[in-house]
Amino acid sequence: MKGKKMDYFAALYNVAKVINVSLDLPRVLEEIVRCVTETMGVKASSLRLLDPRKKKLLLAATHGLTTGYIRKGPVLVEKSGLDRKALKGESIWIKDAQTDKNFQYGGRAKEEGIKSVLVVPLGVGKKVIGVLRVYTDRVHEFSDKDRQFLEAVASLSAIAIENARLHQNLKTDCDLLNAYKFRLDDN
């Protein structure tokens, strides 16, 4: 683990504040993974969203990972036991990603210096839309408080993602309505 952990309550306050002041989703998600990495004192974190076909987890934001690791290849739900369990709503801990068969890219984890991984689902109601992961550079057993903090951030992140999607849909509907109104006015 990297530096000293910060106060989880203060970090949740900061995450909620970022979500509340911006509808710029990429910026909000980048801020969330940066905050998670620094607060938990871990090597890195990432946030992945399930694609519409529910076959891949697409990278939405990351902090602390190298470009080489980020470009390792797609995270396929079928090949990632870790993510299949998380997408069912479970929080999953892997002691050593370099050797665990549930981790899709064990060899790349070794090159990146990743050891333990904690994955929590991004849930909106009963629907899971992605995962939030943290990575350590040493074998690390996460505490209940670590897991609860990450689950709380994941819930806030899922709300931010759904709000951004709803906002975009509303904006699209409004644009279509205005375009239709202008056509009627021209006739």
Query: Measured between alpha carbons, how far is 137 from 130 in angstroms, rounded to an integer?
Result: 23
Do 5 and 39 contact (CB within 8 A), yes or no?
A: yes
- Flag whether pLDDT at 4 surpasses 80: no
Query: Measured between alpha carbons, how far is 152 from 64 in angstroms, rounded to an integer?
Result: 21
Distances (CA, A) of 67 to 78, 117, 157: 24, 19, 23
Q: What percent of the chain has pLDDT over 70?
A: 96
Region 38-47: mean pLDDT is: 96
At 111-128, the pLDDT tens digits run 999 999 999 999 988 899
> Which element (helix H / strand E) includes 16?
helix 8-21
pLDDT at site 174: 86
At 154-181, the pLDDT tens digits run 999 999 888 888 888 888 888 888 888 8
